């Protein structure tokens, strides 16, 4: 059954503002623009039904228009209840892309929107966090036979998909866009780093200088957040479970300690682990009065908010995206954006310039899946190296940066083993 092409957005009259936002982001997305121009000529996705579960932002608007230019018959839904930009959702509908996404939608509506996107009977899926793929495999498995392949945007989604592959539950090939170098080196590090601080700043207007900022998880996102908070004058404390990442954080000049210790001294806490209950009841109990807690990992499970709600004698929303919990000991704990990824809840997500590369990967990977239809197994595949390198080359070119090329002598030297000192 193919979708009846309805939509569900907050207010369709927001479309003009959404188009302006999409156009503004496009200025910083030159690589995607090049791909869009080629797609418009070659139509590599002609007539292919694509369902995308993505953060509905102005950058995603540009990805959607690129896929549409390539001939895709696209339907979109939100990949997080709080990340939708309502103007962009309205604009996408006006551009002829049925979109199901409303900022602040409850969990029931969120899943209803995913099912609406699946009603499109996709031949390809694009996911950010693997909720669409999970719903397809569990609730609408009747549709899987249509699917040629899919792509996944984020670390948490790739982890879930690898578990599905291991359990032999995955039924079609999916490319792990997150694992492309031109994705996580830049998007997760510089994108999350900057936009997480942006979200916290917009929600609270706090001064970063002099604050003790605890970063839970020193992966790609954690490195970015730590680097940027340090640049704003904060003292950084890192918590980790991986000895290599912890060692890296120490050598990068940060204090490293268990969360039980960090909980007692931090002013601001940022979780970016992809893990559950990283800030748990015992940590919440020993925190100072007035601490600010934010999450930038994919799901809202990193801070144990249900435990905090139980511990609190009162709760109120004192500013948009700021919930104040008052504990029995009189201490107040502020949770930002309901523990959902703060850069998208309280700010605009990653700047367009990094999404340019992430979404160039998405576009080229969908094209690759079509070209290789039938030859890929139901596995999680890496982004082909030539796609990754080509995106880096185009990005450098767009920035006006030139690099050297190996001479024939250097090529020979690097391939040989005989020559020493």
Min dist CB 173 to ligand NAD, Å, is 21
Min dist CB 244 to ligand NAD, Å, is 8
Could you tell me which residues come within 8 angstroms of residue 20 by beta carbon, excluding any fewer than 6 positions away?
Answer: none
Min dist CB 246 to ligand NAD, Å, is 8
> Can you point out the beta strands (E) in 39-134?
49-54, 73-78, 99-101, 124-127
Cβ–Cβ under 8 Å, residues 122 and 49: yes
Residue 57 touches ligand NAD, criterion: CB under 6 A: no
Min dist CB 44 to ligand NAD, Å, is 27
Considering only 297, 337, 339, 351, the residue that binds ligand NAD (CB under 6 A) is: 297
Closer to ligand NAD by Cβ: residue 66 or 273: 273
Considering only 100, 190, 220, 254, the residue that binds ligand NAD (CB under 6 A) is: 220
- # of chain residues touching ligand NAD (CB under 6 A): 30
Closer to ligand NAD by Cβ: residue 186 or 381: 186
CA angle 360, 366, 368 (to 5 degrees): 100
Min dist CB 186 to ligand NAD, Å, is 11
Which pair of structure tokens corresponds to residue 176? Answer: 């792990």
Closer to ligand NAD by Cβ: residue 323 or 348: 348
Could you tell me which residues come within 8 angstroms of residue 302 by beta carbon, excluding any fewer than 6 positions away?
Answer: 216, 271, 272, 273, 274, 275, 276, 277, 278, 279, 295, 339
Contacts (CB under 6 A) with ligand NAD, residues 152-181: 154-156
Considering only 60, 62, 234, 343, the residue that binds ligand NAD (CB under 6 A) is: 343
Residue 188 touches ligand NAD, criterion: CB under 6 A: yes
Residue 70 touches ligand NAD, criterion: CB under 6 A: no
Residue 218 touches ligand NAD, criterion: CB under 6 A: yes
SS3 367: helix
Closer to ligand NAD by Cβ: residue 62 or 239: 239
Closer to ligand NAD by Cβ: residue 19 or 184: 184
Angle of the 352-371 helix axis to the 385-398 helix axis, nearest 10: 140
Min dist CB 238 to ligand NAD, Å, is 8
Q: How does DSSP classify residue 234? A: P
DSSP letters for 300-335: TTSB-HHHHHHHEEEEEEEETTEEEEEETTS-EEEE
Residue 192 touches ligand NAD, criterion: CB under 6 A: yes
Phi-psi region of 127 (alpha: psi -120 to 50; beta: other; left: phi over 0): beta
Which pair of structure tokens corresponds to residue 400? Answer: 């006006």
Closer to ligand NAD by Cβ: residue 44 or 337: 337
Considering only 101, 126, 148, 278, the residue that binds ligand NAD (CB under 6 A) is: 278
Residue 304 touches ligand NAD, criterion: CB under 6 A: no
Closer to ligand NAD by Cβ: residue 3 or 295: 295
Find residue 211's DSSP bridge partners: none
> What's phi and psi for 316, nearest 5 deg?
-150, 155
Residue 298 touches ligand NAD, criterion: CB under 6 A: yes
Residue 323 touches ligand NAD, criterion: CB under 6 A: no
Question: Can you count the helices (H) and strands (E) in the chain?
Answer: 18, 16
Number of neighbouring beta carbons within 10 Å of residue 275: 16
Q: Which residue is nearest to ligand NAD (CB)?
A: 219
d(CA 14, CA 18): 6
Min dist CB 328 to ligand NAD, Å, is 26
Cβ–Cβ under 8 Å, residues 179 and 154: no
Contacts (CB under 6 A) with ligand NAD, residues 221-250: 221-222, 239-242, 245
Min dist CB 239 to ligand NAD, Å, is 5
Binding residues for ligand NAD, per CB under 6 A?
A: 154-156, 184, 188, 192, 216-222, 239-242, 245, 272-275, 278, 296-298, 341, 343, 349-350
């Amino acid at each position: 059954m193919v979708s009846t092409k309805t939509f569900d957005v907050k207010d369709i009259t927001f479309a003009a503002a959404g188009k302006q936002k999409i156009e503004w982001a496009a200025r910083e997305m030159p690589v995607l623009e090049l791909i869009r121009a080629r797609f418009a000529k070659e139509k590599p996705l002609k007539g292919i039904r694509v369902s995308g579960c993505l953060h509905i932002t102005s950058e995603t608007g540009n990805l959607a228009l690129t896929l549409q230019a390539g001939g895709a018959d696209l339907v979109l839904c939100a990949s997080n209840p709080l990340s939708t930009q309502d103007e962009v959702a309205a604009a996408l509908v006006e551009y002829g892309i049925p979109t199901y996404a409303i900022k602040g939608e409850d969990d029931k509506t969120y899943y209803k929107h995913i099912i609406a996107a699946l009603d499109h009977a996709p031949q390809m899926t694009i996911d950010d966090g693997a909720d669409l793929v999970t719903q397809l495999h569990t609730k609408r498995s009747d549709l899987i036979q249509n699917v040629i392949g899919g792509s996944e945007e984020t670390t948490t989604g790739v982890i879930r998909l690898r578990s599905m592959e291991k359990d032999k539950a995955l039924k079609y090939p999916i490319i792990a866009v997150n694992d492309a170098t031109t994705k996580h080196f830049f998007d997760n590090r510089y994108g999350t780093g900057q936009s997480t601080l942006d979200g916290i700043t917009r929600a609270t207007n706090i001064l970063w200088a002099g604050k003790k900022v605890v970063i839970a998880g020193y992966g790609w996102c954690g490195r970015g957040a730590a680097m940027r908070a340090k640049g704003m004058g904060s003292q950084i404390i890192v918590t980790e479970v991986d000895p290599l990442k912890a060692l890296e954080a120490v050598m990068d000049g940060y204090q490293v300690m268990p969360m039980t210790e960090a909980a007692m001294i931090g002013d601001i806490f940022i979780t970016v682990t992809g893990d559950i209950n990283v800030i748990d009841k015992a940590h919440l109990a020993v925190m100072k009065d007035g601490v600010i807690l934010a999450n930038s990992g994919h799901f809202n499970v990193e801070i144990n908010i249900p435990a905090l709600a139980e511990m609190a004698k009162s709760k109120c929303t004192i500013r948009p995206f700021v919930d104040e919990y008052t504990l029995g000991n009189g201490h107040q704990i502020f949770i930002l954006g309901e523990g959902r990824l703060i850069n998208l809840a309280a700010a605009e997500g990653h700047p367009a310039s990094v999404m340019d590369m992430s979404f160039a990967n998405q576009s080229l990977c969908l094209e690759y899946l079509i070209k290789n239809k039938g030859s890929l197994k139901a596995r999680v595949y890496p982004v082909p190296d030539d796609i990754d390198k080509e995106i880096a080359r185009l990005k450098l070119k767009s920035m006006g940066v030139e690099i050297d090329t190996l001479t024939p002598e250097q090529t020979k030297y690097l391939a040989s083993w005989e020559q020493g000192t």
